Amino acid sequence: MSNILLGVSGSIAAYRACDVARELMRAGHTVRVVMTPAATRLISPDTFAALTGNPVVVDVFDEPEPGQIAHIRLAQDSDLLLIAPATAHTLARLALGLADDMLTTIALATRAPILIAPAMNPAMWTHPATQAHVQTLQARGVEFIDPTYGVMACGDEGWGKIADTPVIVQAVQQRLQRAQALKGVRVLITAGPTHEPIDPVRFVGNRSSGKMGYAVAEAALAHGAEVTLISGPTALTPPAGAKVVRVQTAQQMFDAVQEAFDECDVFIATAAVADYRPERALPSKRKRDAQRWTLRMVANPDILGTVALRKGSRIVVGFAAETDKALQHAQEKLQRKNLDLIAVNDVLEPGSGFEVDTNRLTLIYADGRIEPLPLMRKRACAEKLIEAVRMIVIQRWGKL
């Protein structure tokens, strides 16, 4: 069973956290509570201490165990941080990365999954500022248990009531299960474009932003995998917890993958690798001295195709960026590159493929199964892909 840290912030729904704590304990978990100062005006820390049998922390300088730095200890020892209820103010502080009380300090220090059950007035919940904070947190892998519709303590009606206790407890159980789903599995991921230098200021590249690959890395981490992310040049912040290797060119990506491949169990190639590079990178900037300029290109190594030849029992997953006959071309790639699974996207379809936040993937398995997915945010596509990988892991190696 797991160690759950329950964060309680200053909503009138704070009393509901008592039920949540009790039900989580009934499910066999150990519960520790951290409260914001505002929450202590609505319910006493002594109530939670009596219910959970553990001391409650509020102030950053609370040190219940001598010799231990409480916020670090709680951050590291918890399997999951559940914040229920979370107020608009607490959401804003979490989104901004403030660490101005014990709860927000722990939220910054922990690498455990974070689940949030908001509770607030409907006008506050639907305010663009609050929704922007929710999106910021979701982009970092924080998950939400959506508030429900109803009449608030203030008499207003709308979306903003904290979710029911069974819904919160079930979300915690599912999140804990997911956090263990790929425990001990080493996942190697390539992401982003490659830049092939023409001269010191120009390169041949493509439109990949890295969003799809980084989302796959986040989803694998959320399932408890050990993730190595080999990233071409992108403007994205890598997910916390991933080992990141940065490269520029296809040859550098090839070398990095070759080096890491033996130590992985699953390889997922989402990168848009340049298939060709200028034969020779000029040592200084090419001047405008002629009407024509012919660049001679040579083939880059096929990273995925090369390592898949020695995959052994590893699971190897490719992507296919297609503009026509998508399924047919992807099936050919699946076979030619000796893959277990390929995710194909039609990069001409609006909302799909390069740069955008959404994608429409079709998963094609080595056994011929075809699973079309709807147009979704890339993070949701990544969840589906990792779930498919997990099923192959279980088929191949038995239960984890």
Q: So which residues are the catalytic ones?
A: 154
Q: Which is nearer to ligand PMT, 119 or 272 (CB)?
A: 272
Select from 219, 303, 364, 386 the one that contacts ligand PMT (CB under 6 A). 303
Q: Which is nearer to ligand PMT, 119 or 250 (CB)?
A: 250
Q: Which two tokens stand for residue 32?
A: 């520790």
163 is a contact residue toward ligand PMT (CB under 6 A): no
Q: Which two tokens stand for residue 355?
A: 């740069």
CB of 249 to ligand PMT, least distance (A): 11
CB of 24 to ligand PMT, least distance (A): 37
Q: Which is nearer to ligand PMT, 13 or 212 (CB)?
A: 212
Q: CA 137 → CA 17, 34, 86, 95, 223, distances in Å?
A: 22, 20, 13, 6, 18
Q: Which is nearer to ligand PMT, 235 or 290 (CB)?
A: 235
353 is a contact residue toward ligand PMT (CB under 6 A): yes
139 is a contact residue toward ligand PMT (CB under 6 A): no
CB of 348 to ligand PMT, least distance (A): 11
Binding to ligand PMT (CB under 6 A): which residues in 181-240?
190, 192, 208-213
- Using CB under 6 A, count the residues that bind ligand PMT: 29
Q: Which two tokens stand for residue 140?
A: 């970092």
86 is a contact residue toward ligand PMT (CB under 6 A): no
Q: Which is nearer to ligand PMT, 205 or 224 (CB)?
A: 205
CB of 226 to ligand PMT, least distance (A): 21
269 is a contact residue toward ligand PMT (CB under 6 A): yes
How many residues in the chain? 400
CB of 267 to ligand PMT, least distance (A): 10
SS3 letters across the chain = CCEEEEEECCCHHHHHHHHHHHHHHHCCCEEEEEECCCHHHCCCHHHHHHHHCCCCECCCCCCCCCCCCHHHHHHHHCCEEEEEEECHHHHHHHHHCCCCCHHHHHHHHCCCCEEEEECCCHHHHHCHHHHHHHHHHHHCCCEECCCEEEECCCCCEEEEECCCHHHHHHHHHHHHHHHHCCCCCEEEEEECECCEEEECCEEECCCCCCHHHHHHHHHHHHCCCEEEEEECCCCCCCCCCCEEEECCCHHHHHHHHHHHHCCCCEEEECCECCCEEECCCCCCCCCCCCCCCCCCEEECCCHHHHHHCCCCCCEEEEEEEECCCHHHHHHHHHHHCCCCEEEEEECCCCCCCCCCCEECCEEEECCCCEEECCCEEHHHHHHHHHHHHHHHHHHHHCCC
273 is a contact residue toward ligand PMT (CB under 6 A): yes
Q: Which is nearer to ligand PMT, 38 or 281 (CB)?
A: 281
Select from 14, 229, 320, 334 the one that contacts ligand PMT (CB under 6 A). 320
CB of 188 to ligand PMT, least distance (A): 12
168 is a contact residue toward ligand PMT (CB under 6 A): no
Sign of the torsion angle spanned by Cα atoms 6, 10, 14, 18: positive
Enumerate residues 6+ apart whose C-beta is below 8 A from 41: 10
272 is a contact residue toward ligand PMT (CB under 6 A): yes
CB of 326 to ligand PMT, least distance (A): 10
CB of 40 to ligand PMT, least distance (A): 44
Sign of the torsion angle spanned by Cα atoms 251, 266, 387, 171: negative
Q: Which is nearer to ligand PMT, 16 or 333 (CB)?
A: 333
Report residue 283 CA to chain centroid gap: 40
Binding mask 27-66 for ligand PMT (x = CB under 6 A): ----------------------------------------
Q: Which is nearer to ligand PMT, 32 or 211 (CB)?
A: 211
Select from 27, 73, 354, 376 the one that contacts ligand PMT (CB under 6 A). 354
Select from 31, 80, 217, 304 the one that contacts ligand PMT (CB under 6 A). 304
300 is a contact residue toward ligand PMT (CB under 6 A): yes
Which residues here bind ligand PMT, judged by CB under 6 A? 190, 192, 208-213, 250, 269-273, 275, 300, 302-304, 318-321, 333, 345, 347, 353-355
